[in-house]
Amino acid sequence: MKITQGVRVLITGGASGLGKIMGRLVLAKGAKLILWDIDRLKLDETIAEFKHLGQVEGFLVDVSDLAQINNAAMQVKQSFGKVDVLINNAGIVVGKFFHEHSPDDIAKTMSVNSNALMYVTLSFLSEMLLDNSGHICNISSSAGLISNPKMSVYAASKWAATGWSDSLRLEMQMLKYKVRVTTVTPYYINTGMFDGVRSLVPILNPEKVAKKIIRGIERDKIYVSMPWSMHFVRFGQGVMPIWLFDWLIGGVLGIYSTMAHFKGHNKNL
């Protein structure tokens, strides 16, 4: 879907990091921007920063809370009507070995990274179906394609997000709706969320990632994967014995040790 003058774009987790950059990009195209975020201070700062770029409105929403999602969705519909482009961007990570997780760690991660995408989409999908147009972009992760130590719960949540997102795409095709779905599976992005990660594979620049995502939406791409090598992950898993895949990914490329020095989100970014 082309993002042009007047197109209504909603971005969850839109007050900082990748979401904020995507917001700036769509405003530059003349879109009406709707930001959801859990951080009131960053939300207010971002709205103040973006006001001169175009129409922008923010809503304080914890997407792990279904009641807050439903309430905010109702307010958005009253103020803007139908959402044309929904970007499910909000996400969290807990970098621990699985046995170190608390039940709350698990519940919160699955709620934000998996359930919220479905709940938020469900809140706006009916209007897209009635209008027979719209675009849903789900920010998953390369962790939604490949296993990795010290991010087992995060990987679980992103595998769920990837599977649901692409299944939704197929359903829209099967039912002959013109609602497009894009699934984004990037490697680590330098937004501060994965502060402390060390990797032989270059960590991605958020500005470049944001531009590729917006371009992917406008071109109705099914998957936006970065870097290009991510396209070969599932192929490699299919043709290699698991010991060889583990040796290549874990031993040669060092992916399985990237989280060894993980610190967590740099709140200044």
pLDDT at position 268, please?
A: 39
pLDDT of residue 64: 98
**Known active-site residue 154:** yes
- The reply to whether the predicted model has a pTM over 0.75 is yes
The domain spans of the chain are 8-257
CA–centroid distance for 257 within its chain: 23
Instruction: Identify the three-state secondary structure at position 111.
Output: helix
Q: CA 89 to CA 111: how far, in whole Å?
A: 13
Structure tokens at 248: 């290549």
- State the catalytic residue, choosing from 119, 154, 187, 188: 154
pLDDT value of residue 264: 65
| Architecture in CATH of 8-257 | 3-Layer(aba) Sandwich (3.40)
Per-residue pLDDT of the chain (269 residues; tens, 9 = 90+): 999 999 999 999 999 999 999 999 999 999 999 999 999 999 999 999 999 999 999 999 999 999 999 999 999 999 999 999 999 999 999 999 999 999 999 999 999 999 999 999 999 999 999 999 999 999 999 999 999 999 999 999 999 999 999 999 999 999 999 999 999 999 999 998 888 899 989 999 999 999 999 999 999 999 999 998 888 888 999 999 999 999 999 999 999 999 988 876 654 33
Nearest Cα residue to 194 out of 262, 267, 109: 262
pLDDT for 156: 98
